Amino acid sequence: MNLQQYFKDEPKGAIVEMAEYLGVTATWLSLLIHGHRKPSPTLSIKIEEATQGLVTRKELRSDIFS
């Protein structure tokens, strides 16, 4: 599952809430969701933890995590 699929069924404020949890802006998270930017390896791990493994670090950064 990618971030876009993850947020598809989440409530409207979920992006802002997740961004605050991750320590990034909602704008940055939106860029990640839509594939315009890639998260750092550290942020990839945090996203995997925040989504309880539904979005994996490998899905986010297959160039680093195999």
Residue 25 lies in a domain: yes
Residue 66 lies in a domain: no
Give residue 66's pLDDT: 86
Cβ pair 34, 25 in contact under 8 A: no
Residue 34 lies in a domain: yes
Which domain, by its residues, includes 11?
3-60
Residue 10 lies in a domain: yes
Burial of 26-43, coded b for 16+ CB within 10 Å and e otherwise, reads eebbbebbeeeeebeeeb
Is it the case that residue 9 has pLDDT exceeding 90? Answer: no
pLDDT digits (tens, 9 = 90+) for 11-56: 989 999 999 999 999 999 999 999 999 999 999 999 999 999 999 9
Give residue 15's pLDDT: 96
Residue 16 lies in a domain: yes
Give residue 7's pLDDT: 95
The pTM (predicted TM-score) of the whole model is 0.92
Residue 65 lies in a domain: no
Residue 18 lies in a domain: yes
